[in-house]
């Protein structure tokens, strides 16, 4: 099976930056898309960013222009650079991997992801 472990979370002041890393282990063959999601207490989980096998990306409207997703296939890691953080970004952040190569619309939906990490907490104070 595939194991995903997030790291890099913490507490920062409004306007600060954090870098999250997702380390992938186990059977990694066939993983084409990887993404970041987040969930705050009492709210539904939402998509943050997705990166495909060719490096193309998409971002949620609330983070576009502030967050950058990246992947290093040689190291089996997924990164998320978060800048200009705001209190509204406070949430548990999860990384996920999808096995499919092609999806309607170009990117997988949340339900299409096959593996999920346990999450890392990000807290932004004002």
Q: How confident is the model at residue 79 (pLDDT cuts 50, 70, 90)?
A: very high
Which residues fall within 8 angstroms of residue 123, CB to CB, at 6 or more apart?
Answer: 10, 11, 12, 90
Query: In the prediction, which pLDDT does 101 show?
Result: 86
Q: Which residue has the higher pLDDT, 53 or 7?
A: 7
The position carrying tokens 């990117």 is: 107
Average pLDDT, the chain: 95
For the stretch 9-25, pLDDT in tens is 999 999 999 999 999 99
Query: In the prediction, which pLDDT does 37 show?
Result: 98
Q: Cα separation of 79 and 8, whole Å?
A: 10
State the average pLDDT over residues 23-37.
89
């Amino acid at each position: 099976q595939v194991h995903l472990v997030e790291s890099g979370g913490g507490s920062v002041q409004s306007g600060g930056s954090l870098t999250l890393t997702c380390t992938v282990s186990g059977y990694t063959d066939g993983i084409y898309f990887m993404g970041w999601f987040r969930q705050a207490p009492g709210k539904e989980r939402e998509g943050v960013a997705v990166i495909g096998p060719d490096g193309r990306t998409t971002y949620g409207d609330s983070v576009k222009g502030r967050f950058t997703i990246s992947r290093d296939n040689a190291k089996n890691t997924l990164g998320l650079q978060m800048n200009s953080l705001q209190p509204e970004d406070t949430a548990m952040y999860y990384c996920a991997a999808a096995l499919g190569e092609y999806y309607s619309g170009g990117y997988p939906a949340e339900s299409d992801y096959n593996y999920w990490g346990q999450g890392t907490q990000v807290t932004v104070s004002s």
